[in-house]
Amino acid sequence: MVAPTSDLAAAVAPATGRMAAVQDMARLLRLLFEAEREFVRTATTLICRVGEPELKYLLCQHVWESAGHARFLRERGRELAGFGNGESVRPALRRLFAEAAAPADADVALAGFYGVLKPALLSAYRHYLRVTDPLADWPSQRLVAEFVADEERHAREMARHLGRADAGSWEVQLATAVAALGGLLGESAPRPLPPGFAWRQESAPYRHPDTCNRAPYPVCASVFGHDPAAVPIVRPWLTDPRTDARVIRIMVYVWLLMEMDAVDYLSTVFWDTPDAPFDLHHDLARHLWDESRHSQFGFRQLPKLGVDLMTVEHSLDLYVILVRMAPHERYAMMTMEFEAGSFPTKAAVMDRIRELNDFEADTLLAFDRNDEQNHVRYGHRWLPEMMALFGETRPVEEFVRATQEKFRALAEEVGGRTPHGLPPERRLTGDRILRLATDR
């Protein structure tokens, strides 16, 4: 296969005329913006496929920071002649990042992103620092220097999660594709793709898995229910004034840990909305990072209260149901149903937790509530635009009602199918929480 003429190389061809110096740098900033934007859209495909909570959290953090890079690059670029008015991504870059997402093995895909694409991005940033004037382009220099430090830190943070799969041939595949572009900025001469090179995305494109990965933790359909011998979050107990506040504290930390559900299903929306405005993806990235932090509240606090995390089953139903719905339906359920509907119960829970004089718990729950209020605002802002992307013309309220009905029907069809990973005597249940909280 012969490489086509690189649209990246054309994009960075030297400008001519009195504004050439500015235009050259603006075009490089534009390519950096596009690369960061595509990383945000495609690296999110890793999140539902990797299992370890701490790896999911780290990916969410990196996606959020990359969205920040893209936003600042866009804002700086718009100050310079030659950056362009739109936000579209060049086909060659889009194809490269889509290729990185293609492997079915999450560890192999992770190695491609962090063993090839992230180093290529770091190299591109360093190239920009070398070729721009440190005084004339001081604002860009300051930004890019900070982004170089972020990229170096990302590499250090991810290092312990790499090397789990034989990804050598896949890294060669991606490195070959990067070389065919001449680097992410076209900073080197493009190399023709070798004979026999085949894009994996053409024969086996990425698709969302039918269920998300939570290994090595045990799983179940849902952690909510009414039977204290079966589930850890007993719905009547949350709002019953007779429930010991210490019990409620442990249950709400389990609830927060299970915001991992939101992390997994929200991460799928980026890939499915390639033509969304960048600001939509930016706010989705913030939403994703917030949900990741909320899950970490539970992940960090439960062991302090004597809970063995390996006894906590992870619920899969929400992902299993929502991944079978359209992206705008997923987003509608998340913002207009789950989050908007959680405020009354969480308010009652917050009042009960205050009885314990636990400043840390009060702080975490207050930030959780503040973030969730922002997420509902995001929903009001972006759901209409997401609906428009998919040709949905019904009024928002009518669409949300129909989506709620569709969710209920799917829950009947595919929900509740995940068996308990642990027997009752080994898993965390309401009864065990009661004993644990009141014996301390």
Instruction: Give yes or no for a contact between 63 and 97, defined as CB atoms under 8 angstroms apart.
Output: no
pTM of the model: 0.94
Nearest CA to 261 among 409, 44, 48, 403?
48
Q: How many CA atoms lie within 13 A of 287 on its CB side?
A: 29
**Position 403, amino acid:** T
pLDDT of residue 164: 87
Contact 305, 418 (CB under 8 A): no
Instruction: Quote the DSSP letter at residue 233.
Output: E
Total residues belonging to the chain: 440
Tokens of 165: 């799969």
- Do 365 and 349 contact (CB within 8 A), yes or no? yes
Question: What H or E segment, with its residue span, contains residue 122?
Answer: helix 118-131
| C-alpha to C-alpha distance for 384 and 371, rounded to whole angstroms | 21
Question: pLDDT for 407-439, tens place per residue?
Answer: 999 999 999 999 999 999 999 999 999 999 988
Q: Report domain extents, the chain.
A: 7-203, 219-439
Report d(CA 371, CA 290) in Å as an integer.
Answer: 7
* Whole-number pLDDT of residue 20: 86
SS3 19: coil
* Both structure tokens of 367: 């930030």
pLDDT 10s digits, 33-53: 999 999 999 999 999 999 999
Task: Report the C-alpha gap between 344 and 317 in whole angstroms.
Answer: 23
Residues 135 and 79 sit within 8 Å (Cβ to Cβ): no
Tracing tokens 């409620």 back to the chain, one arrives at 248
**Contact between residue 53 and residue 260 where contact means Cβ atoms under 8 Å apart:** yes
Owner of token pair 């004979």: 195
Residues of the chain with pLDDT under 50: 1-5
Q: Contact at 8 Å (CB) between 316 and 217? A: no
Model pLDDT, residue 8: 67
Q: DSSP assignment, residue 244?
A: -
**What is the per-residue pLDDT for 10?**
59
- Whether residue 189 contacts residue 87, with contact meaning beta carbons closer than 8 Å, is answered with no
Say if CB 8 and CB 92 are below 8 A apart. Answer: yes
Work out the number of other CB atoms within 10 angstroms of the CB of residue 292: 26
What is the DSSP pairing of strand 233-234 with strand 314-315? unpaired
**Which fold would CATH assign to domain 7-203?**
Ferritin (1.20.1260)
Using DSSP, state whether 100 is helix, strand or coil: helix
Q: How much is the pLDDT for 301?
A: 98
